[in-house]
Amino acid sequence: MNRLVTVSNRVAPVRRGGTGAEGGLAVAMQGAMKDRGGVWFGWSGNIVPHESREAKVIETGRISYATLDLTQRDYDEYYTGFANSVLWPLFHYRLDLTDFSRRDMAGYHRVNAMFASRLLPLLEDSDVVWVHDYHFIPMGAYLRQAGSRQKLGFFLHIPWPPMELLLTLPNHEALVRDLCAYDLIGFQTQTDLYAFQQYIREEAGGEVLSDGRIKVFGRSTMARAFPISIDTAEVAKLARTAEHSQQSRRLKESLAGRQLITGVDRLDYTKGLPERLEAYQHLLASYAAYRGQVTLLQIAPPSRGDLADYQQMRRRVETIAGHINGGFAEFDWSPVRYLNRGFKRQTLMGFLRLSDVGLVTPLRDGMNLVAKEYVAAQAPDNPGVLVLSRFAGAARELDGALIVNPYDIEGVGESLARALSMSQDERRERWDAMFKRLSRYDLTAWRESFMTNLDAAPCAAAA
Ligand code: ADQ
């Protein structure tokens, strides 16, 4: 089997003490690289005065971890600038928050070109390269320009925006042209795939064939949806074990028999936290019976705190949480417990298992793994209810959830009331189908499906 080279902004082992975003994914990619041998390549997380001339390589068994440092200018323009102040908001339909500048766009390209040139010497002819996410859209084109003849795949973890939104990006054509340098392009959902195909047909004048092939810009590539999943069996096991942990016991005792609603999200404006809190406020205001009887645990570790939009959103969330507690709390009950910190995976899965309701209401999300983890963490005989935004990619698969529109504050409040009072039979029935689906289509199935498609895709460099 050919070696697998994984490229992502952050490389797992460098992220010491990390408990967050790439936990499950890191394990899945490491699994594939352990089987095939491979290299994991990306940013070290360090900012240094001078650009790295070559990658720092650490070898452990069959996997080499190769990382590069960034200069402050690279970080500002590539990471904070174009990736997180243009692509991230725009691809999450937040045109109002995009802050485009030619300087940042140039920095994004400069870093992509630099990463491609430092990766090339590490590649063997028969390697298969899998690039992850919006930080590295042009990486494949730079690799090709520099003479790479390897098979190149790309997976986008965030949504692909509708054509009319993408057209607001001044360099949209160059970006899509670069994306099409990959031999396989993976999206989270059919909706994302259709939006991409529409751009190819209507804006780029290309052709979309029924088998997923795309002919455009004088070349041919393949685009498909590969909805990412979780390690279902592992999450179920972690949650089962954690049920009797000290933290879970403490949480349970502190609830004193009240029902628990839990939300777990990076503190990001895409996750709909203000709207979620307002929906909970509506529940307490309109359904007096729940006052004193329910607790919302919102876990929200800060992310990208150096960006003004994130700071502003954080203040808004804190204000609403404060209002709810100020307005409804009793001397022996706080309606909201709001925590800005990470937890060990096992602790978190234990908390999800204890929760009567998993509240996942992003305004837009590529997939949302917390929704899937909530389902996998439930006790089969007495599962809780998932309340899930229709705008999370996961809503296409998790149809046993109560699907809500996160902009409809009162509607979400009503769904919360329905979830809290749902019969055990209905809960089991809804949960069963979702759990079966997640057991069949787990993270390994996702990874293998992408790899099988990449292995089978024709390589543009060989044409
Ligand atoms: P994220 O936007 O980070 O991921 P999500 O899919 O929910 O969102 O994944 C977050 C992960 O971090 C989950 O596994 C969760 O358990 C973990 N996590 C969150 N808070 C934590 C905490 N306080 N302590 C410990 N762990 C925590 C992006 C896209 C998503 C897409 C994923 C994967 O935005 O749409 O689903 O990539 O492709």
Residue nearest (by alpha carbon) to ligand 1 atom 37: 157
What pLDDT shows up at residue 31?
79
228 lines ligand 1 (CB under 6 A): yes
Give the residue, by CA position, lying nearest to ligand 1 atom 22: 342
Residue 88 forms part of a structural domain:
yes
CA distance to 114, 237, 347, 349, 370, per residue, from 377 (Å): 42, 8, 11, 6, 10
- Ligand 1 site, residue 333, Cβ cutoff 6 A: no
Question: What is residue 24's predicted lDDT score, i.e. its pLDDT?
Answer: 64
* Mean local confidence (pLDDT), 40-55: 93
Q: pLDDT by residue (tens digit) across 228-245?
A: 999 999 999 999 999 999
Helix axis angle for 424-440 and 232-242, nearest 10°, is 130
Model pLDDT for residues 423-448, shown as the tens digit of each residue:
999 999 999 999 999 999 999 999 99
pLDDT in tens, 442-455: 999 999 999 999 99
CB of 21 closer than 6 angstroms to any ligand 1 atom: yes
Residue 257 sits in the same domain as residue 325:
yes
Ligand 1 touching residue 368 (CB < 6 A): yes
Closest listed residue to residue 322, CA positions, set 384, 277, 258, 366: 277
The verdict on the CB of residue 157 being under 6 Å from ligand 1 is: yes
Question: Which candidate, 212, 207, 206, places its Cα nearest to that of 193?
Answer: 212
How remote is the CA of residue 370 from the centroid of ligand 1, in Å?
Answer: 6
User: Residues 289, 378: one domain?
Assistant: yes
What is the distance in A from the centroid of ligand 1 to the CA of 241?
Answer: 21
Q: What is the 3-state secondary structure (H, E, C) of the chain?
A: CCCEEEEEEECHHHCCCCCCCCHHHHHHHHHHHHHHCEEEEEEEEEECCCCCCCCEEEEECCEEEEEEEECHHHHHHHHHHHHHHHHHHHHCCCHHHCCCCHHHHHHHHHHHHHHHHHHHHHCCCCCEEEEECHHHCCHHHHHHHCCCCCEEEEECCCCCCCHHHHCCCCCHHHHHHHHCCCCEEEECCHHHHHHHHHHHHHHCCCEECCCCEEEECCEEEEEEECCCCCCHHHHHHHHHHHCCCHHHHHHHHHHCCCEEEEEECCECHHHCHHHHHHHHHHHHHHCHHHCCCEEEEEECCECCCCCHHHHHHHHHHHHHHHHHHHHHCECCECCEEEECCCCCHHHHHHHHHHCCEEEECCCCECCCHHHHHHHHHCCCCCCCEEEEECCEHHHHCCCCCEEECCCCHHHHHHHHHHHHCCCHHHHHHHHHHHHHHHHHCCHHHHHHHHHHHHHHCCCHHHC
Does one domain contain both 453 and 371?
no
Tell me the residue type at 225: A
Q: Would you say the C-alpha torsion 32, 179, 457, 146 has a positive or negative sign?
A: negative
Residue 66 placed within a domain: yes
Mark whether 320 and 204 lie in a shared domain. Answer: no
User: Which residues make Cβ contacts (< 8 Å) with residue 106, sequence separation at least 6?
Assistant: 77
| pLDDT digit string, tens, across residues 263-275 | 999 999 999 999 9
CA of 298 from ligand 1 middle (Å) equals 14
Claim to verify: residue 174 and residue 89 sit in the same structural domain: yes
Same domain, 184 and 240: no
pLDDT value, residue 266 = 93
Q: What is the pLDDT of residues 48-57, one digit of tens each?
A: 999 888 999 9
- In angstroms, the CA 252 to CA 293 distance is 14
pLDDT tens-place string over residues 93-129: 999 999 999 999 999 999 999 999 999 999 999 999 9
Active site residue 99: no
- Tell the residue nearest (CA) to atom 24 of ligand 1: 342
Q: Is residue 261 part of a domain?
A: yes
Evaluate if residue 189 carries a pLDDT over 50.
yes
Cα 463 from Cα 454, distance rounded (Å): 16
Ligand 1 neighbour 27 (Cβ under 6 A): no
- Specify if 188 maps to a domain: yes
Average pLDDT over residues 216-228: 97
Reply yes or no on whether 183 is catalytic: no
Residues 238 and 225 in one domain: no
CB of 437 shorter than 6 A to ligand 1: no
Question: What's the pLDDT tens digit per position in 360-401?
Answer: 999 999 999 999 999 999 999 999 999 999 999 999 999 999
Position 164, amino acid: E
Q: Which CATH number belongs to the domain containing residue 9 in this structure?
A: 3.40.50.2000
Q: Are 33 and 6 in contact (CB under 8 A)?
A: yes
Q: Residue 115 falls within a domain, yes or no?
A: yes
Does the residue 31 lie in any domain? yes
Residues 45 and 58 in one domain: yes
Whether 276 and 177 map to the same domain: the answer is: no
Annotated catalytic residue, options 132, 157, 172, 282: 157
Tell me, in angstroms, the distance from the centre of ligand 1 to residue 123's CA. Answer: 30
Question: Best substitution site from 369, 386, 447 to test ligand 1's pocket, by max atoms within 8 Å of Cβ?
Answer: 369
Which residue has its alpha carbon closest to ligand 1 atom 3? 21
159 occurs within a structural domain: yes
Mutate to test the pocket of ligand 1, among 368, 375, 398, 442 (most ligand atoms within 8 A of CB): 368
Report the distance separating Cα 296 and Cα 348, nearest Å: 15
Tens of pLDDT, residue by residue over 13-35, are 544 334 444 456 777 788 788 88
How many whole angstroms from 305 Cα to the centroid of ligand 1? 16
Number of structural domains, the chain? 2
Tell me which of 187, 264, 271 to substitute to probe ligand 1's pocket, judged by most ligand atoms within 8 Å of the beta carbon: 264
Q: Which domain holds residue 260?
A: 232-439
Q: Which of 74, 178, 365, 442 is catalytic?
A: 365
Q: Which residues contact 134 (CB under 8 A, 6 or more apart)?
A: 83, 87, 88, 91, 156, 157, 158
Structure tokens at 35: 């089987």
- Determine if ligand 1 sits within 6 Å of the CB of residue 443: no
Q: In whole numbers, what is the pLDDT of the chain averaged over residues?
A: 94
Residue 305 confidence (pLDDT): 87
pLDDT tens-digit map of 329-345: 999 999 999 999 999 99
| CA nearest ligand 1 atom 38, residue | 157
Residues 245 and 193 reside in one and the same domain: no
Domain contains 463: no
State residue 462's pLDDT score: 72
CB 282, CB 409: distance < 8 Å? yes
Is 405 exposed, middle or buried, given 0-12, 13-18 or 19+ CB atoms closer than 10 A? middle
Is residue 46 domain-shared with residue 92, that is, in the same domain?
yes
Q: 380 and 279 share a domain?
A: yes
Nearest C-alpha neighbor of 177 from the set 125, 146, 142? 142
Contact 326, 220 (CB under 8 A): no
Distance of alpha carbon 354 from alpha carbon 364, whole angstroms: 26
Give me Rg for the CA atoms of the chain.
Answer: 23
